[in-house]
Structure 1
């Protein structure tokens, strides 16, 4: 990357592209071919070029330089203003902490800006390097959108595997520490879904708008991307619901275990309550205690307590208390 310029390519119309530096970008003209400029908006040179050298409207430049943006699609007189979000595969980052990419497109060029690396863009660059990339700017936008959605699908698949594993653990073990894992997964799903819902709407608008430099095949491909992101949203909603059901099942299992323990303690208490009463009654330090002068009295008393336990056991069994 040279002072904010991550990539600049002139498409050759055959799936390849010629790479430009800042000097080549400054001298580019529409007759040279369709241009894709990819910038790090946090670098000063990128800001200067967008505001003073790109020739785009100031409002569009401000949007391309904005720190925060939700997914959107706007059809302006001069072109298209798009904001998408892709999953974050950067080191020590969470996938749901999504990377924002903003794009401006007209029939001659695409300008894209971001701050953090986005694998979907890198894959498109590699395709161009191999001569198997998009042949037009319209296909370039669709390819970026398609790669973003595929990457989102990979994360959703990982969430589904985590959910299936947690469901198995809930059924097999039902340990209380699974609650935090279920809650964490639900938070991740909700965070990802937060951006995918408006992204779906942006892609739908992109697919239905009549744009002069988009062919019918381009619209069909866009609809495929919309269908795929719709399925990913449905899968995320299913994962969230499964997490809720598993959390409830876990709570029920924990409550059942607690009730079983309380039940056992109640039975033990019921058995030893009369025994404690009798031992306490005969243990008072006053005269007239029965058997105090009889050397076999303790033996008879113990046998009486054992008999009482047996009678209690039979009564509990008869009442089906256990």
Structure 2
């Protein structure tokens, strides 16, 4: 657990977390904690039992905001995409009048990225800290969405050029990830909408207007992932169509080869019969004439099929 006094974007480490109970003359306290620190923090800040229980739960929490007398409890999901799987990491926050507590189980990149922004913007209140952190989280969804779109386009190109059985597993896997993520985007959009529209005494009225931009981005993200879900359906249809076309191409080649060999089989069939006399059987070099004729017939039919674009 790290406790910091934030004054105009500048950090001062606080050694004794109990000092954060007293509001500072300037700035606010930011406590970056883990689940193991909640027992101490709950007794100090009187955090609500249900909020603490949600933080300690192993189950994945949906984005939400809970309003209590002395603080707000906010849950939002950070996203990470490693080109194979989408990961959501819960970011729990307790917002008070002079403090904000962030509780995470894994490392959240947005918290690391946030520090220089606090410095540049000279952030001096916990609600502005919350605004910039939520903004970073939502923006990261846009970045992940762009990467998913690129992956879909590349997968579509690969399917059209060289269809493989492994492509179906990729389509199913990515589609299930998108559908799973869609379930979280709705509540996350509602959370940002609440921060923007609802009157909240711990968030400055002027600052709430800025949450409107984040809300618009959250709506766009939800709509974008709706589009990705439809694209994955189209991609599966393209995969099935590509397999059918490939099978048709193979059958066309086999049919053409069978057709070419039909007259050759007819000729060899005649001269393979056990008759005492066949036309030209005693003619010198007859076998070369027959073989040459068979080659000529085969090449002629091959040329005809190529000319008609059947091969």
Which residue of the partner structure matches residue 31 of structure 1?
23
CA contact (8 A) 1:40 1:113 kept: yes
Q: CA deviation at 1:266?
A: 0.7
**1:55 alignment counterpart:** 46
Q: Secondary structure at 1:97's aligned position in 2?
A: strand
Pairwise CA distance, 1:55: 1.9
CA distance in 2, matches of 1:76, 1:115: 23
* 2:255 equivalent to 1:261: no
> Offset at 1:99?
1.3
Render the CA deviation track for 1:116-138: whole Å, top value 9, x for unaligned. Answer: 1112112233344x363432121
2:233 to 240, 244, 251: 244
| CA deviation after TM superposition for structure 1 residue 253, in Å | 3.3
Q: 1:306 to 1:78 in 2, by over 3 A?
A: same
Structure 2 partner of 1:208? 197
State which of 269, 278, 282 in structure 2 corresponds to 1:290.
278
Gaps of 5+ in 2: none
Specify the alignment match of 1:270 in structure 2: 259
Work out the CA distance in 2 between the residues paired with 1:220 and 1:60: 27
- Structure 2 distance, partners of 1:312, 1:160, is 47
Residue 139 of structure 1, CA deviation: 1.4
Report if the CA contact (8 A) 2:6-2:124 is conserved: yes
Does 2:5 align with 1:10? Answer: yes
* Cα deviations by residue, 1:124-176 (Å, 9 ceiling, x for unpaired): 33344x363432121121111111111222222222233333444445x2342
The structure-2 alpha-carbon separation of the partners of 1:231 and 1:259, relative to structure 1 and needing over 3 Å to count, comes to same
Within 1, Cα distance between the matches of 2:304 and 2:121? 83
- State the alpha-carbon separation in 2 of the partners of residues 317 and 57 from structure 1: 79
Contact 2:114 2:132 in 1 (8 A): yes
1:109 to 91, 99, 103: 99
Distance 2:19 2:288 in 1: 111
Q: Which residue pairs with 2:68 in the alignment?
A: 76
- 2:199/2:205 contact within 8 Å kept: no
Q: How many residues align?
A: 306
Q: Summarize the Cα distance change of 1:126–1:66 in structure 2 as closer, same or farther, 3 Å threshold.
A: farther
Aligned-pair RMSD on alpha carbons?
Answer: 3.5
Give 1:180 deviation, angstroms: 4.7
Runs of 4+ in 1 over 6 A off after TM superposition: 92-95, 310-322
Q: Unaligned stretches of 5+ in structure 1?
A: none
Q: Does 1:144 align with 2:133?
A: yes
Residues 74-223 of structure 1: matches in 2 within 5 Å? 74-88=66-80, 96-128=86-118, 130=119, 132-171=121-160, 173-176=161-164, 178-223=167-212
Residue aligned with 2:86, SS: coil
| Counterparts in 2 of 1:66 and 1:306: CA distance versus 1, 3 Å | closer
Output one character per residue of 1:10-40: Cα deviation in whole Å (capped at 9) or x when no partner: 343x34343312x2x2133343353322201
Q: Shift of the alpha carbon at 1:307?
A: 7.8
User: How far did residue 83 of structure 1 move?
Assistant: 0.8
Q: TM-score, normalized by length of structure 2?
A: 0.80
Between 113-122 and 63-72, the greater mean CA deviation after superposition? 63-72
